């Protein structure tokens, strides 16, 4: 008689053991978000398989519209004032833009697209100002791991170059404009690791020291 309850207890406990084992195994396979964020290889692979929802010409039309709106803003006016007073102090051979974000984000976020277009408009406006005091054409280079095929087609249609990481970092020289807004500190560190550029536009050092 004593053996019967013991067997029943073992049968009831068995499903619990199986559930615990499956749960634990799932946790072992789970990837750390921090590790994924730091992996350039993972980001590049994700970029290769991500499809485009907008075509290059469609992105171009959005950019023209958003740029026209930005050109009437206070931000544009103040940026113009800054460079009108300081433009003669710099000799720039190339301009490298890091991390604009996608103009065709995977989730279709309008805010992400808008910020990307405004950053691009500001970057190209600055290059245009610098071009006036340069005897040769300033090359514009873009490095953004999340760019999809349409993003790259759009940038190339503007007449500019798209490179993969770390090529952009390696192209920085003493006559380079480095442009990158709200990027991670290690991105800035890589951008100036080779040498200090002629001009740097990005998040102030003090922000990272707070």
CA distance 171 to 189: 14
- State pTM to two decimals: 0.73
Confidence of residue 210 (pLDDT cuts 50, 70, 90): low
pLDDT exceeds cutoff 60 at 32: no
The domain 54-209: what is its CATH number? 3.40.50
Neighbours of 64 (CB within 10 A): 11
8 A C-beta contact, residue 112 and residue 62: no
- The full set of domain ranges for the chain reads 54-209
CA distance 58 to 195: 38
108 Rama sector, left if φ>0, alpha if ψ -120 to 50, beta otherwise = left
Segment 119-144, tens digit of pLDDT: 999 999 999 999 988 889 999 999 99
Segment 84-102, tens digit of pLDDT: 877 666 789 999 999 999 9
């Amino acid at each position: 008689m004593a053996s019967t309850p013991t067997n029943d207890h073992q049968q009831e406990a068995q499903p619990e053991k199986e559930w615990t084992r499956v749960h634990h195994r799932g946790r072992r396979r789970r990837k750390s978000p921090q590790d994924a964020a730091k992996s350039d290889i993972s980001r590049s692979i994700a970029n290769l398989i991500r499809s485009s929802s907008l075509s290059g010409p469609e992105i171009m039309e959005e950019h023209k519209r958003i740029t026209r709106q930005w050109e009437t803003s206070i931000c544009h006016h103040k940026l113009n004032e800054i460079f009108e007073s300081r433009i003669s102090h710099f000799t720039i051979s190339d301009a490298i833009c890091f991390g604009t974000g996608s103009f065709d984000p995977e989730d279709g976020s309008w805010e992400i697209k808008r910020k990307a277009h405004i950053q691009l408009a500001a970057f190209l406006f600055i290059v245009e100002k610098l071009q006036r005091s340069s005897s040769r054409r300033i090359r514009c280079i873009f490095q953004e791991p999340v760019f999809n095929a349409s993003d790259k087609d759009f940038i190339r249609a503007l007449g500019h170059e798209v490179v993969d990481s770390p090529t952009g970092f390696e192209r920085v020289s003493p006559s380079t404009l480095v442009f990158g807004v709200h990027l991670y500190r290690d991105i800035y560190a890589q951008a100036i690791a080779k040498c200090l550029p002629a001009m740097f536009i990005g998040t102030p050092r003090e922000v990272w020291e707070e």
